Structure 1
Amino acid sequence: MTLANGRPYLAIPGPSVMPEEVLRAMHRGAPNIYEGALPDMVAGLVPDLRAVARTSGHVAIYIANGHGAWEAALANTVAPGARVLVPATGRFGHGWAEIAQGLGIEAEVIDHGKRAPVDVSRLAETLAADRAHTIKAVLATHVDTSTSIRNDIAALRAAIDEAGHPALLMADCIASLACDRFEMDTWGVDVMVAASQKGLMVPPGLGFVFFSDKAAAARAALPRVSRYWDWAPRADPQMFYQYFGGTAPTHHLYGLRAALDMIGAEGMEAIWSRHATLARAVWAACERWGADGPLELNVADPALRSHAVTALRIGAPHGTRLRDWVAREAGVTLGIGLSMAEPGSAEWHGFFRFGHMGHVNAHMILGLLGSVEAGMRALDIPFGRGALDAAAEVVAGGCPAPSVQPAKTASTGRRGASAASLDG
């Protein structure tokens, strides 16, 4: 007998849970991709995407995952042989650096390990030493999905400005967009990359690059950009197909329209508040469990933790045993400990992650935590008591009232919510 029969819960940090509204919107026949309802709908997506990113800048949509968005951002701004600076706080910082190297770009990585945020002073020192301004961009990860570290992007902008350095500031918001607060224009970000399968609640397959006028000028100065990655026609298309470099990802677009409508109805401030409260519930439970057992939050300081994903250390072989039990007996899939140890090694089995991004609410998180505690009981993994009480207390306190801020953009799409309504 198993208690896992029924609807499963994918509690990994992407792909995230897809709302029924998104799935229903995608469940239809193929549309006309040349004229009519689909082109009209897509024109309305752009201002709504800007509102989620808090920018009045440009938006390019790619049929790609986050890795594709990484490459698109670099292909449009940095020439082969040039130099970028990558302050890495986990696997995905290194991943972006590897994409750069594959394009013939020199990527200088400042490795901060797996438990610490970006050291702004180290970044400032490197920029100050670059008197010839050979560094063309700083590639920063807002939230690294592997470690759950959340970096202070505004502080990086301040360090670049204080050094008087012209480098572009690029932010990877693949894990954080529509989960953790992100203010592209206010924080001075030149390029931001995101993808559809996390906070935007759409299946994997869409990559997004948001860019400023300064980044557009860097693109204009390049001698060439590959036809597919070139963001200029995508951001200012003369024909519908130029949005996507060919045939549109039709059903993903229908899903995205539904997701943006849901985001607009809730409001960005409320979304950020919901994610913050549910993350605090997760942390409260984990801290109680760890008080009398091997479980440990990867990031000690709550101010540095993502509100979208929580990386955990529990020691081998408990991580894999717990994931297997919870999936088999409770129908809940937990995330692997990605890049926290060498795959296949004994240590690799000592980590796991919770994804709490996008379409999540209180009963999902409380059910997740209850299932994990049941697994630790069944497997005789030591843990401290009172975790579920602590999580319930956070939930009972509710979300703080959103502090509504003025919209950064005021344009309205032809279908769906306006930028103002998305702003909260």
Structure 2
Amino acid sequence: MEARSSRHFLQIPGPSPVPDRVLRAIAMPVIDHRGPTFADLGKEVLEGCRKIFQTSGPVVIYPSSGTGAWEAAIANTLSAGDRVLMVETGHFATLWRQMAARWKVEVDFVPGDWRHGVPPEVVREKLQADRERAIKAVMVVHNETSTGVTSRIAEIRKAIDEAGHPALLMVDTISSLGSADYRHEDWGVDVTVSCSQKGLMLPPGLGFNAMSEKALKAGESNDLPRSYWDWRDMLKPNAQGFFPYTPSTNLLYGLKEAIAMLLEEGLDNVFARHQRLAAATRAAVEAWGLEVLCLDEREHSPVLTAVVMPEGHDADRFRKIVLENYDMSLGTGLAKLAGKVFRIGHLGETNELTLLGAISGVEMGLKDAGVPHKPGGVQAAMDSFHNQNLRAGDIRAA
């Protein structure tokens, strides 16, 4: 691949592009992680995380990937032999199931078509049928990164309550936190799992758990072994801004800046921006005559859009052509979707103009790859932005 003189378009659904402000913050000198300057930093980022998760309860930060945060959620709440309820919404729900099984947790895994989120009515029916209250947790992926489908967490919480069931609600927000509306406390979530490299606009390296009092209580009696992941070991020094082992100091500087950026824009505005970008992307896909993978309008992801390739055309070949011709990375199809879809990320530090650049690259790539489509996706995205601005009253006369 020849060298390019301009910026690379990173349009995968994470890791997302890291803003200059965050990069500059990460470049701070390394400091003593046992000293008073670090204590101030630790307290500030832990308090800031509560605002992003929208909770008054504790949030812990691990030097880990999101996979580590998954494991922490299981190890701190469940015991070997416990039953949990999960739904096959995509690749990452499947991986979380596999992890739970390695911990000897029994998973009731409801089959899915990878085109819908978790059906709240199925959760309610499963819990109502659990007369012995053997199910200890309902584990849900909020935004399934492999499919571009979100699950309706507030409705799932309602379904659990309607069933009168004591199961914990555990939610993966790895690709949704900081991009899609999410409310840990208001929605009655017991454990929220997330990471740094998507909506928080950081490099990979930080994993998060937010937990309720009910989840903390469960951790007092479960029997899974834990050391590195132990919430209790984290929460004690966190009270003074410290960590039980060496933290990712410079990523925490970046986290401080990323939180500041999100709060300066305002979380409601951040969520609305992502919805605008997603709607414009879907308008482009429709104009091309292609199909969005998500089938339920209520579940369209604000984070990414998965696009189904026409029969007989390989999505990975198309992605390769786009990368070689226009220096843009698109998300690959994962597991059973390999070669069948490509994914357009529109999260993090992205706005109307950067997305239009990405849409242009996709449209040019479709033509170069000989993929059957209609022209006009870029114009459709522009029209979507214009119409949304008109409805919001954001267009002002010169």
TM-score normalised to structure 2 length: 0.94
Alignment match, 1:65: 65
Structure 1 pair 60–131 and aligned structure 2 pair: CA distance change class (3 A): same
Of 302, 308, 325, the residue aligned with 1:307 is: 302
| 2:86 pairs with 1:86 | yes
| 2:284 pairs with 1:285 | yes
Give the C-alpha shift of residue 159 in structure 1. Answer: 1.1
Q: Take 1:200 and 1:30, find their aligned partners in 2: how far apart are those partners?
A: 21
Give the C-alpha shift of residue 385 in structure 1. Answer: 2.7
Worse overlay, 306-315 or 200-209 = 306-315
Deviations 1:363-384 (A, max 9, x none): 1100000011111122222212
Worse overlay, 163-172 or 389-398 = 389-398
Of 330, 336, 359, the residue aligned with 1:334 is: 330
Q: Take 2:110 and 2:31, find their aligned partners in 1: how far apart are those partners?
A: 47
Deviations 1:177-215 (A, max 9, x none): 111111111111111100000000011110000001111
Q: Secondary structure at the match of 1:285?
A: helix
- For 1:141-152, what aligned pairs fall within 5 Å after superposition? 141-152=141-152
**Aligned partners of 1:4 and 1:330 also within 8 Å:** no
| 2:119 pairs with 1:119 | yes
Gaps of 5+ in 2: 394-398
Q: Which amino acid aligns with 1:364?
A: T
**Aligned partners of 1:297 and 1:310 also within 8 Å:** yes
Q: Secondary structure at the match of 1:86?
A: strand
Alignment match, 2:185: 185
Structure 1 pair 251–12 and aligned structure 2 pair: CA distance change class (3 A): same
Alignment match, 1:247: 246
Deviations 1:258-295 (A, max 9, x none): 111111111100000100001111000001102xxxx3
Q: Take 1:127 and 1:393, find their aligned partners in 2: how far apart are those partners?
A: 45
- Kindly report structure 1 stretches of 4+ aligned residues shifted beyond 6 Å: 238-241
Deviations 1:229-262 (A, max 9, x none): 111232342686963x411111111111111111
Give the C-alpha shift of residue 4 in structure 1. Answer: 4.6
Q: Take 2:259 and 2:388, find their aligned partners in 1: how far apart are those partners?
A: 24
Structure 1 pair 238–249 and aligned structure 2 pair: CA distance change class (3 A): closer
Q: Take 1:125 and 1:300, find their aligned partners in 2: how far apart are those partners?
A: 23
Q: Secondary structure at the match of 2:252?
A: helix
Report the RMSD for the aligned CA atoms in angstroms: 1.9
Alignment match, 2:353: 363
**Aligned partners of 2:43 and 2:238 also within 8 Å:** no
Alignment match, 2:396: none
Give the C-alpha shift of residue 122 in structure 1. Answer: 2.0
Q: Secondary structure at the match of 2:149?
A: coil
Number of aligned pairs? 391
Deviations 1:375-417 (A, max 9, x none): 1122222212321111001222456769xxxxxxxxxxxxxxx
Give the C-alpha shift of residue 224 in structure 1. Answer: 6.2
Q: Which amino acid aligns with 1:207?
A: G
Q: Take 2:172 and 2:332, find their aligned partners in 1: how far apart are those partners?
A: 21
Structure 1 pair 95–300 and aligned structure 2 pair: CA distance change class (3 A): same
Worse overlay, 116-125 or 89-98 = 116-125
